[in-house]
């Protein structure tokens, strides 16, 4: 059913053109013309500065183009400078409202979506945002000059068609309730940006986009300041009122935790999120915290739990046997680490969709079986007759010793036995591992290294700067590395990039583990075509189950709160907190400088 028909039924009269928002599932909370989101202060004053810190994995930046594969773009660039056709809200998980587009219409057969652009929308150099710019942005991102992830994510979009100066239609290869949201999230930039150059050569050209901030002062590779555009075209829109209140936002880069922590205490920046439980308990203390000059807080949220784990590169011959991958997980003693190293601050990751409706549990239910049964000849029988695998535990009556004995049996069955001082295969090759990290993981890795040594496996810890780290990941040159993926309330096309067989052979994709499974491909495609929330839940539970039986990762942990520290007395925040949010984004979007 077309969205304008939906609104006719609700409101009693059809709108002039189409809808102001799109919801993948369920209702749209805010009506056309709404003044502002509930989680902002619409009267927040503008002004002042906000100093933030880049994630520690970012040790420099060397380009201003976030859409190409090579190099590292500066933190904050995507959210502050570029805008999209639609924008999400932090209190609805699968709904987006018009930003560059003032109207959206989905075809009755679901095979196309049409956007009409807001005539007020302007790029930073003063030119209006036109349908030709939208088509140009899409077409460029689908070329080999851009990061290959875009060709995967937008793989079901056949083409973008300009229907008028400010009207653009995206045509789909198949109907999917997610696709209008997906193309609505397309970053739009001017045709003038890097004009005349191959897109992968657009490196140092300052982006020409339409966001609330422009690139300002830059200490190249060290820090970057974004300056608020006082003539920002969208400042009075309901989706922007009360947001982006700082005149200047600076991201600073530090190369290690110690320097970052001391810089925060010395007042070099204002806010950070703390990921280390040990640092939270032992380092973020002292007189400034006792006096209230610095504040530490644990912020609740309704987000689905993050996924975090050691990813195993199954392209390596030594990892192709699922029993080997399962054995590696048995050597990881989360319970000991949680008690001794992490102050019992985390929950154990169980699968890929922790603490959400999509997490598989027990045996498959009737709704999951509808997904799995047609694929029975492509799946292990264990998926149907055994409960979904849980991560190994060393809590009594279990123990690390018992887990290592199980691991030794699995490794022996896979052809790896201990002799001549190491675990070796039939060719006599020793089992060695390299763990690649950009820093900070030594404390966690040491007990894991010791446990693997008891199996005869040598694990080498390799610390690399972010540029080398990223380069090796792009070409899948690694054994193990750690990854955290924020939880999602409605995973979609990103699943193709993470788990699709096509992505497994595409350098720069997110299918680092190298999954090439026709059953996984089929389930992902079913999830993308889900027409209702219950369908999506059943299909993602089936996906979670199949992946967990594949033992592609060694599950780590996630937090049920955002741990943040900030300078007191400088800032104010809205009374209403959002439901689904990242802490850094919430600060940038809604806080303001206290007067």
| 109-141: pLDDT as tens digits | 999 999 999 999 999 999 999 999 999 999 999
Determine the Cα–Cα distance for residues 575 and 241; give it in Å rounded to an integer.
15
- Judge whether 175 and 109 are in contact, CB under 8 Å: yes
Q: Has residue 145 got a pLDDT over 50?
A: yes
Beta strands 480-485 and 571-572, pairing class: unpaired
> Tokens 């973020």 label which residue?
284
Determine the Cα–Cα distance for residues 174 and 198; give it in Å rounded to an integer.
31
> Tokens 């947001």 label which residue?
243
* Average pLDDT of span 132-154: 96
Q: Left (φ > 0), alpha (ψ -120 to 50) or beta: where does 462 sit?
A: beta
Q: What is the CA radius of gyration of the chain?
A: 25
Higher pLDDT, 16 or 548: 548
* Average pLDDT of span 557-575: 94
Q: Taking the complete model, does pTM exceed 0.75, yes or no?
A: yes
pLDDT tens digit string along 346-396? 999 999 999 999 999 999 999 999 999 999 999 999 999 999 999 999 999
Structure tokens given for 191: 């045709």
Q: Has residue 5 got a pLDDT over 50?
A: no
Q: Has residue 402 got a pLDDT over 90?
A: yes
Query: In Å, how far from its chain's centre is CA 32?
Result: 30
- For the chain, domains (ranges, CATH) are 1-33+83-204 (3.40.190.10), 307-558 (3.10.105.10)
pLDDT tens digit string along 243-287? 999 999 999 999 888 889 999 999 999 999 998 888 899 999 999
pLDDT tens digit string along 155-179? 999 999 999 999 999 999 999 999 9
Strand order in the sheet with 561-567: 271-273, 561-567, 294-300
Q: 3-state class of 143 per DSSP?
A: coil
pLDDT tens digit string along 295-322? 999 999 899 999 999 999 999 999 999 9
Confidence band (pLDDT; 50, 70, 90) for 3? very low
Q: DSSP string spanning 363-384?
A: S--HHHHHHHGGGGGGS-THHH
Q: Has residue 465 got a pLDDT over 90?
A: no
* Average pLDDT of span 52-74: 89
pLDDT for the residue 11: 35
Confidence band (pLDDT; 50, 70, 90) for 588? very high
pLDDT for the residue 59: 76
Q: DSSP string spanning 244-294?
A: ---SEEEEE--SSHHHHHHHHHTTS-SEEE---HHHHHHTS-SHHHHTTSE
pLDDT for the residue 56: 64
* Range list of H helices, 75-117: 77-81
* Average pLDDT of span 289-296: 94
Most confidently modeled range among 59-63, 533-537, 541-545: 541-545
Determine the Cα–Cα distance for residues 326 and 329; give it in Å rounded to an integer.
5
Q: Kindly give, in sequence order, each residue whose CB lies less than 8 Å from that of residue 75, ignoring residues fewer than 6 positions away.
A: 52, 54, 55, 58, 61, 224, 251, 253
Confidence band (pLDDT; 50, 70, 90) for 4? very low
pLDDT tens digit string along 483-493? 999 898 888 88
Share of the chain above pLDDT 70, in %: 97
CA dihedral 472, 277, 300, 268 (to 10 degrees): -80
Determine the Cα–Cα distance for residues 532 and 538; give it in Å rounded to an integer.
10
Q: What are phi and psi of 150, to 5 degrees?
A: -65, -35
Q: Kindly give, in sequence order, each residue whose CB lies less than 8 Å from that of residue 104, ignoring residues fewer than 6 positions away.
A: 3, 18, 19, 20, 21, 22, 85, 86, 98, 113, 114, 115, 116, 180, 184
* Average pLDDT in the chain: 93
Q: Left (φ > 0), alpha (ψ -120 to 50) or beta: where does 42 sit?
A: alpha
């Amino acid at each position: 059913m077309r969205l304008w028909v939906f609104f006719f039924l609700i409101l009693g009269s059809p709108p002039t053109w189409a809808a102001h928002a799109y919801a993948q599932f369920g209702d749209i909370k805010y009506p056309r013309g709404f003044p502002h989101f509930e989680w902002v202060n619409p009267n927040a004053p503008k002004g002042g500065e906000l100093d933030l810190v880049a994630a520690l994995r970012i040790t420099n930046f060397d380009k201003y183009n976030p859409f190409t594969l090579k190099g590292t773009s500066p933190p904050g660039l995507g959210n502050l400078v570029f805008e999209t056709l639609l924008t999400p809200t932090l209190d609805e998980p699968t709904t987006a409202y018009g930003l560059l587009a003032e109207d959206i219409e989905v075809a009755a057969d679901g095979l196309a979506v049409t956007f009409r652009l807001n005539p007020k929308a302007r790029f930073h150099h003063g030119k209006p945002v036109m349908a030709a710019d939208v088509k140009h942005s899409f077409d460029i991102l689908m070329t080999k000059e851009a990061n290959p992830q875009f060709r995967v994510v937008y793989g079901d979009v056949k083409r973008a068609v300009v229907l008028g100066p400010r009207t653009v239609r995206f045509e789909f290869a198949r109907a999917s309730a997610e696709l209008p949201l997906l193309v609505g999230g397309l970053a739009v930039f001017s045709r003038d940006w890097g004009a005349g150059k191959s897109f992968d050569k657009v490196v140092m050209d300052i982006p020409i986009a339409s966001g609330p901030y422009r690139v300002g002062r830059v200490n190249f590779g060290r820090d970057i300041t974004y300056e608020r555009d006082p003539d920002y075209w969208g400042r009075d829109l309901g989706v922007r009122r009360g947001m982006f209140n700082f005149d200047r936002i600076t991201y600073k880069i530090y190369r290690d935790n110690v320097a970052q922590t001391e810089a925060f205490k010395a007042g070099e920046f204002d806010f950070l999120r703390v990921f280390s439980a040990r640092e939270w308990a032992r380092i973020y203390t002292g007189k400034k915290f006792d006096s209230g000059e610095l504040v530490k807080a644990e912020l609740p949220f309704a987000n689905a739990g993050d996924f975090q784990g050691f990813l195993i590169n199954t392209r390596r011959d030594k990892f192709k046997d699922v029993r080997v991958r399962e054995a590696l997980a048995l050597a990881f003693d989360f319970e000991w680490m949680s008690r001794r190293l992490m102050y019992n601050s985390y929950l154990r990751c169980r699968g890929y969709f922790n603490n959400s409706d999509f997490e598989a549990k027990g045996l498959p239910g009737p709704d999951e079986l509808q997904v799995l049964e047609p694929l029975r000849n492509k799946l292990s029988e264990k998926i149907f007759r055994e409960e979904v695998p849980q991560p190994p535990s060393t809590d009594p009556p279990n123990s690390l010793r018992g887990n290592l004995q199980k691991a030794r049996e699995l490794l022996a069955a896979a052809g790896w036995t201990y002799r001549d001082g190491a675990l070796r295969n039939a060719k006599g090759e020793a089992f060695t591992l390299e763990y690649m990290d950009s820093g900070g993981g030594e404390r966690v890795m040491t007990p894991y290294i010791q446990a693997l040594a008891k199996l005869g496996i040598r694990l080498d810890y390799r610390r690399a700067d972010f540029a080398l780290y990223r380069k090796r990941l792009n070409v899948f040159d690694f054994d193990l590395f750690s990854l955290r993926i924020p939880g999602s309330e409605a995973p979609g096309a990103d699943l193709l990039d993470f788990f699709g067989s096509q992505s497994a052979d595409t350098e720069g994709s997110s299918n680092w583990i190298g999954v090439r499974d026709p059953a996984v491909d089929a389930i992902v495609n079913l999830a993308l075509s889900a027409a209702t929330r219950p369908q999506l839940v059943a299909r993602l539970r089936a996906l979670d189950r199949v992946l967990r039986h594949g033992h592609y990762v060694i599950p780590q942990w996630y937090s049920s709160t955002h741990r943040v520290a900030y300078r007191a007395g400088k800032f104010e925040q809205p009374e209403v907190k959002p439901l689904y949010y990242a802490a850094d984004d919430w600060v940038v979007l809604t806080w303001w400088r206290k007067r």
